[in-house]
Amino acid sequence: MSEYKVKFEVFEGPLDLLLYLIKEEEVDIYEVNLTKLATQFIEYIEMMREFDLEIAGEFLVMASTLMYIKSRELLPVDQRAETEEDEEGADPRWELIRQLVEYKKFKDVAAQLQVLEERQEGIFPRVPGKLEFENTAPVPKPDVSIFDLLNAVNNVLKRFEKRDGTRDIFEDKWTVSEKIEYIIRILSSHEAIRFSELFEDAMSRSEVVCTFLALLELIRLKQLICAQSEDFGEIEIRKRPTSVVVPVAPETPHLTPGTSS
């Protein structure tokens, strides 16, 4: 895979990942188990490293904060009380929860504004003579985040956890370029495919990693879009619809009787 370097930027931040994990656990922010959350967060960091994704420094700072909180939670009750007495400032646990609550409020407001904006787009009158863009196919809402994709590929990788490493001897058999061609070839004959279908014939972890990197590259190049019909559901992959320019003829001016053009 050395011949092709995938540069996929992770635009979501550490708070987005924490909210994603909390949503997956289906618990209230105030009731979240921060010790368990810390373990899950580190697992995602390790996955991002395995796929050689660029990890912003904020993720590493958050990882350190979570591990510190986890280490305090694992202390005996008497030692934990002594530690809290020796420390000054806000409790890091409640400070983190406060940040999560505030950030969730911000995201909820942003989502509501986006819905209003989408509704507003459909009420403006047509301007005569203006070029309009018409999609050749319906576009599913591209609401799948990098964390959804990592969660999905992690489920695929679990198939290989109990196997020995003999199949990984041929880890360089596939290249990202070849897997890009493979994905494009599949979607040339299918309108859409499920995420899991990309990996049905994978023979090793390295092949899964290679295919996943190819998928990320095609997403980065805006060749593909991914969508879910429900939270944590099966991811659907399809080619991004191309837009064609449809000229709109100018409206003929209305002439009243007795007037000339």
146 contacts 10 by C-beta, under 8 angstroms: yes
Give the span between the Cα atoms of 128 and 144, in whole angstroms. 37
What are the Cα distances from residue 114, in Å, to 19, 109, 110, 192, 249? 19, 9, 6, 26, 31
Domain 127-249 fold: Arc Repressor Mutant, subunit A (1.10.10)
Residue 39: the pLDDT is: 92
Quote the crossing angle between the two packed helices 57-73 and 77-86, to the nearest 10°. Answer: 130
Residue 55: the pLDDT is: 78
pTM for the whole thing?
0.68
Residue 131: the pLDDT is: 41
DSSP label of 252: P
Output the tens digit of pLDDT for each of the chain's 261 residues: 445 555 666 668 899 999 999 988 888 888 888 889 999 999 999 888 888 787 778 888 999 999 988 888 777 666 555 555 555 556 788 899 999 999 888 888 887 887 787 677 656 555 444 444 444 444 444 468 889 999 999 999 888 776 655 455 555 578 889 999 999 999 998 889 999 999 988 888 888 989 999 999 999 888 998 988 887 888 999 988 765 444 555 555 555 555 554
Residue 237: the pLDDT is: 92
Give the span between the Cα atoms of 210 and 42, in whole angstroms. 22
Residue 138: the pLDDT is: 44
32-37 contacts, C-beta under 8 A, 24 or more apart? 32/97, 34/66, 34/69, 34/70, 34/73, 34/93, 34/96, 35/69, 35/70, 35/73, 35/74, 37/66
Q: Which residues contact 111 (CB under 8 A, 6 or more apart)?
A: none
Indicate the domain borders of the chain: 1-124, 127-249
